[in-house]
A and B are shown apart, each in its own frame.
Chain A
Amino acid sequence: METQLQPITTATPPVEMKTRLKKRRRLSERVIQGFLLLCGVISILTTLGIVFELGKESLLFFTSPQVNLWEFLTTTRWQPTIGEFGVLPLVNATLMTSFFAMLIALPLGLGSAIYLSEYATPKARSILKPILEVLAGIPTVVYGYFALTFMTPLLRGIFGQDTVEVYNTLSAGLVMGIMILPLVSSMSEDALSAVPRALKEAAYGLGATRLETAIKVVVPAALSGIIAAFILAVSRAVGETMIVAVAAGSGPAFTFNPFHSAETMTGYIARISGGDLAYDSPDYNSIFAIGLLLFTLTLFLNMVSRRLVRRFREVYE
């Protein structure tokens, strides 16, 4: 950039004018550039702020006499009022809702992506894709409402009022799957359409059907992008709050029964901080410890996903 800035001059201007011009312009430009850099640096400060605050309060939490890191990670009862801090029930509930969400979002998302990129005519695509994208724009609290007023009664109708509790992880998970579907679909579609035409035409030339081309050539070629989409979907499901806060129940429970209520990590944070919260109590500090767990987990998943996306871009671009 610097070289483009130099004015091209044939005749040398008087020395004092040259320096004057240079100095004045450089100073204000520097100030502006400095301010813009500051704007960019705010993002780094945000990350540092997250890490610092979560770390600091978590440290307070783990150093408090009631809490023991080993018990935190291995015991299965979470009852801060009587000093039992085993995070496993919360983690288990998060994994269960995320699992059900993936059960819906991964196959349907990939199926939609394959249809949109390999089968749909441009006209069908221009109608179907925006409708799917509307799903991504609906606020998550609305999905929570939907889970509670539609999905749960539906499940209770199918499996029986006695088997299915009013709040349950299955209902929350299924609705979350629908919420994440557009993310999987659009990221996978990007990966699929980045596969070079030549590969597909070669497959057709060898007599493969459309399905065979899609499954045996296009999908394997786009695999790293598709896996990236899956990983990002998992990260989204783990961090999702409102659907589980509304529909999965409020009360930590260590259960593998999808019809029972169980509070997730995010649900717990939302419930505890929603009430009147005394600063520096174990309750208050515990949301930071769980927040740290959540942040670390999602950050790790996001970074893996990003790396995979970059890899398939490098291969084909």
Chain B
Amino acid sequence: MRPLSVEPDSTQEKFLNRRHQVGRLWQALFLFSILVGIITLATLLFTIFNQSLGYVAIENKVDPASLSARPLEKLNKAELLTILEANLSKARLRQLNADIPLEERSTVDLYDIVIERIVDPVIVSTWSFSESLFTKPAILQEIAAKYPTARLEFKIWLNWRFITQAMSSRAELAGVRSALAGSMLLILFTILIAFPIGVGAAIYLEEYANHQSRLNRLIQTNIDNLAGVPSIVYGILGLAIFVRTLAPITSGQFLGIGADNGRTILSASLTMALLILPVLIINAQEAIRAVPGSLRQASYGLGATQWQTIWHHVLPVALPGIFTGTILAVSRAMGETAPLIIVGASTFISQSPSGPFSMFTALPIQIYNWTTRPQDQFRNIAAAAILVLLIALLSLNAIAILLRNRFTKKL
């Protein structure tokens, strides 16, 4: 070996500097990898936000000014009624009366009918938020050239009406009420089915199973492998078993009620339950494993049986962790689309589902359906529906985090 010199060798120093330079370059590259992910996330969220509000050009079939001298929203019930009677065909009036007699309807309701049936505003073009913000003159020019009778309006697509309104084939009238109700019911039944089975399986594997036994090893390996099966395969399984083979049960015909085929909430919930079970079991197993063994020993020491120990001592401590894991699994189910397409959630359901045996639609299905339509307005309401879905997921995850924090404090 060369003796170390006090004066650093200049070539050696150069070499060292170079190594450090390369090190810094790569460090920057590694950081860049993360930043790409984060920037994409930001872009994704911005794209959705950007599409969910902006200018729209609206053309009225009938000019509201020709119906009444005063603005329509200021009219009282009687005035609205005269407008309706003057402008709607006899058949249409009879139809509306058969539904609920016009005299008994509220002013707001009548106003909605006047707008929908007579004024009939049609959105002819839409712009995103950023376009609305930066290119307003160009938009005004375009409207003047293409749609001379249209008026420009700033529309926030995600509004109360959008959440409470039922489906419609026209984007500006469509809402997500039935889809939201469908998703909620779907999640509810999925939890009811998957939670007891998942927690039961986790208890068995952690507390009872002898890990040498071949059956138990098979169950564990199997669960791990099922967690990686693509969701669409579960959809195919659900179609074959729940929708088709078990149609008399899942359609509710065995009770004499329900739909005429198996494409119901129950089928979809069963499919979703199978889909989230592996993840739910794995999460619950971790929660149960985290319970200190001394707790069990103390319980046995006092003469409790194994089930008494589990029920009174292990489960109460593991429960927050199990809940957290369940919520995370369920939030996956909430965003899943592919299995629902396969088991046949319908896209055009205007009524909210009433129980496990009704046909249904769900938020992700609606998003998919609207995204694949060519018209711009549907892009806008798809973005609004995505915001609803993301907010729902965010609240679910917030609950999970709250539970997790409480859990960590306790131990």
Contact = CB atoms under 8 A, between A and B. Distances in A.
Interface of A: 1, 4-5, 7, 25, 28-29, 32-33, 35-44, 46-47, 49-50, 53-54, 57, 107-112, 114-116, 118-119, 128, 131-132, 134-135, 137-146, 148-150, 178, 181-182, 185, 209-212, 215, 232, 235-236, 238-242, 245-246, 266, 269-270, 273-274, 279, 287-288, 291, 294-295, 298-299, 301-303, 305-306
A246 B369 CA distance: 9
B72 interface: no
B47 A146 contact: yes
B27 A210 contact: yes
Interface string B368-407: 1001100000010011001001100100010000000000
Q: Which 5 A-B pairs rank lowest in CB-CB distance, beginning with the nearest?
A: A239-B230, A139-B335, A111-B33, A39-B200, A115-B30
Given A28-B307, A119-B27, A235 B342 contact: no
Given A53-B237, A138-B44, A302-B228, A5 B300 contact: yes
Contacts of A274: 341-342
A139 to B, nearest CB: 3
Given A139-B334, A141-B371, A302-B228, 16 more contacts: A1-B208, A29-B307, A37-B208, A135-B40, A141-B367, A145-B367, A145-B371, A178-B37, A211-B27, A212-B23, A239-B231, A241-B232, A269-B236, A301-B228, A303-B225, A305-B228
Contacts of B37: 108, 112, 131-132, 135, 178, 181-182, 185
Given A141-B368, A239-B232, A49 B219 contact: no
B222 interface: yes
7 contacts: A4-B300, A132-B37, A266-B230, A266-B232, A269-B236, A274-B341, A302-B225
A40 B201 contact: yes
Interface stretch (B131-139, B147-155, B238-246): B238-246
Given A53-B237, A181-B37, A32 B307 contact: yes
B171 interface: no
Given A132-B38, A141-B367, A25 B344 contact: no
Interface stretch (B93-101, B273-281, B314-322): B273-281
Contacts of A49: 237, 241
Contacts of A209: 19-20, 23
Contacts of A294: 230, 232-233
Nearest to A145: B371
Contact of B372 (A110, A143, A246): A246
B40 A7 contact: no
A35 B208 CA distance: 12
Given A46-B274, A241-B338, A36 B201 contact: yes
A142 B386 contact: yes
A178 B36 CA distance: 9
Contacts of B3: none
A29 B30 CA distance: 55
Contact of A241 (B29, B337, B383): B337
Interface residues of B, number: 88
B274 to A, nearest CB: 5
B389 A287 contact: no
B200 A36 contact: yes
Contacts of A116: 34
B201 A39 contact: yes
Interface string B164-179: 0000000000000000
Contacts of B219: 40-41, 43-44
B181 interface: no
Contact of B371 (A44, A182, A246): A246
Chain B CB within 10 Å — which of A236, A246, A269 has the most? A269
A217 to B, nearest CB: 14
Contacts of A287: 236
Interface in B71-102: none
A105 to B, nearest CB: 10
A109 B230 contact: no
Contacts of B295: none
A54 B204 CA distance: 29
Interface in B210-234: 210, 216, 218-219, 222-226, 228-234
Interface in B335-353: 335-338, 341-342, 344
B218 A29 contact: no
B135 to A, nearest CB: 16
A210 B20 CA distance: 9
Given A131-B38, A211-B26, A298-B229, A149 B222 contact: no
B34 A111 contact: yes
A283 B85 CA distance: 52
A119 B201 contact: no
Nearest to B367: A141
A45 B338 CA distance: 22
Chain B CB within 10 Å — which of A28, A35, A132, A149 has the most? A149
A279 B368 CA distance: 24
A140 B335 contact: yes
B30 A112 contact: yes
A53 B241 contact: yes
B41 A131 contact: yes
Contacts of B305: 5, 25, 29
A19 to B, nearest CB: 16
Chain A CB within 10 Å — which of B197, B237, B344 has the most? B237
A50 B237 contact: yes
B290 interface: no
B364 A211 contact: no
A239 B222 contact: no
A19 B225 CA distance: 44
A141 B364 contact: yes
Contact of A137 (B230, B241, B372, B393): B393
Contacts of B235: 269, 273
Interface string B269-297: 00000100110010000000000000001
B331 interface: yes
Contacts of B51: 149
Contacts of A299: 225, 228-229
B197 A39 contact: yes
Given A150-B44, A182-B37, A299-B225, A57 B344 contact: no
